Amino acid sequence: MKNLLCPFAIWFLVFTGISAAQIPLEIGGDIETCVNLDLDESDTLRSRTTFKLNLDSYVGDKVHGYVSLKMYTDRIPHFDWIMNEAYIDYYTSKFDLRTGVQIISWGTAYRLNPTDNINPFDLTALETFIPEEKLGIAALRLKYYPTTNLILTGIFIPYFVPALEMPNVVLPERKLENSEYAFKITTQSIIECDLSASYFRGKEDYPWINGQYRDVEIFGGDIIGTIWEMAFWAEGAYTKPDTGDSYYQIAGGGEYTFGNDLYCMGQVYHINYPDAHENYLMAVLRYPFMDIHTLQLGTAYEIENEIFIGFPEITLSLADAASFVMSGVFVNGDITGTLMSGLKHGIILKLEYSF
């Protein structure tokens, strides 16, 4: 019961405190219930209901506060909750400062982002294809604007948060020497393109073969822009671990929406390990029908191992704030030992409501 009441107690204290100070507050959120059927030999059936509450407030034009609480249940009557995000922004004409629990997304590619190394993925979420949901981490982020078209970003992460915790593996101590940090320089509006270069020093989100989390340095860069009415992007990263061999990743693609609202996306992705490499061709077609519903067809093909992956999705709008989503993933080929080794044949049914 404590797990159930705690986020509501926090929400009540925050809400009453802000209201008493007569600070404008926006309240929103969503409720999502999801059922996942694994179409493998076990036919495993999993379900998850998630409740997210968002509190958003501006104090003048210099201070902004945001809180996102997420409560979920994977099995009845067990409830759990996390502080998804909770941060304070301070704005000036030359820099922006954000401190607190936050989600920071880097990179420009579709789903597979070589430079997006700040937040770990939430592996408990029910998704059919590559994970998208992330875990918030405590961090300090500073954005500095020395000129109109230049942004310098620095991030300090006081302690390590993994995507996957292994039993009997002790996480690094919360000491300054184990802190993580990252830097990024971005130039905007250069020949209709935005360019950036980045550096990350920290630990891998997943344990290595010895069960420990390796220290890594990641050097990255990306570009995004438009040619006529087509958007394009490219992104790459070189990872240098303190133990083991280095490797690199490259992704590039583009997207275009036709006059009949048909959306098309294509992308190539390459990852090169010392003893193996994988090459993926990815495509997505999305088309709205009856003005309010959406049909999406997604595919990925790995050339070296001849693996075909399909991930279709249909979204039906039930009302202004409610929708029903049915998605799936179908794999043809041996994915053992590849980047997609965690995929399973499956179908997900999801009902969403926003307020």
- Express each pLDDT in 80-115 by its tens digit: 778 899 999 999 999 999 999 999 999 999 989 999
Q: Phi first, then psi: give them for residue 17, nearest 5 degrees.
A: -65, -45
Q: What is the pLDDT of residues 272-322, one digit of tens each?
A: 998 889 999 999 999 999 989 999 999 999 999 999 999 999 999 999 999
Residue 2 predicted with pLDDT over 50: no
Task: Identify whether the C-beta of residue 298 lies closer than 8 Å to the C-beta of residue 312.
Answer: yes
Task: Identify whether the C-beta of residue 83 lies closer than 8 Å to the C-beta of residue 55.
Answer: no
pTM of the full predicted structure?
0.88
Average pLDDT, the chain: 89
22 Ramachandran zone, left/alpha/beta (phi>0; psi -120 to 50): left
pLDDT of residue 345: 85
pLDDT of residue 159: 94
pLDDT of residue 179: 96
Q: How large is the greatest C-alpha to C-alpha distance in the chain, in angstroms?
A: 62
Task: Identify whether the C-beta of residue 318 lies closer than 8 Å to the C-beta of residue 324.
Answer: yes
Percent of the chain predicted with pLDDT > 70: 90
Residue 4 predicted with pLDDT over 50: no
- Cα(54)–Cα(70) distance, integer angstroms: 9
pLDDT of residue 131: 74
Residue 76 predicted with pLDDT over 60: no
- Cα(143)–Cα(140) distance, integer angstroms: 10
* Spatial CA neighbour of 103 closest among 82, 124, 81: 82
Residue 328 predicted with pLDDT over 50: yes
Q: What is the pLDDT of residues 127-145, one digit of tens each?
A: 767 777 899 999 999 999 9
- Cα(248)–Cα(254) distance, integer angstroms: 21
pLDDT of residue 324: 98
Q: What is the mean pLDDT of residues 157-186?
A: 90
Residue 52 predicted with pLDDT over 80: yes
- Cα(123)–Cα(105) distance, integer angstroms: 17
Q: What are the residue ranges of helices labelled H in the chain?
A: 2-20
pLDDT of residue 17: 54
Least-confidence region, from 67-71, 250-254, 297-301: 67-71
pLDDT of residue 78: 63
- Cα(155)–Cα(181) distance, integer angstroms: 5
Residue 11 predicted with pLDDT over 90: no
Task: Identify whether the C-beta of residue 28 lies closer than 8 Å to the C-beta of residue 15.
Answer: no
User: 56 pLDDT band (50/70/90 cuts)?
Assistant: very high
Task: Identify whether the C-beta of residue 103 lies closer than 8 Å to the C-beta of residue 87.
Answer: no
| Residue where the block lists tokens 């006059």 | 259
DSSP H or E run through 96: strand 95-102
Q: Phi first, then psi: give them for residue 34, nearest 5 degrees.
A: -140, 140
Residue 46 predicted with pLDDT over 90: no
Residue 354 predicted with pLDDT over 50: yes
Residue 164 predicted with pLDDT over 80: no
Task: Identify whether the C-beta of residue 200 lies closer than 8 Å to the C-beta of residue 117.
Answer: yes
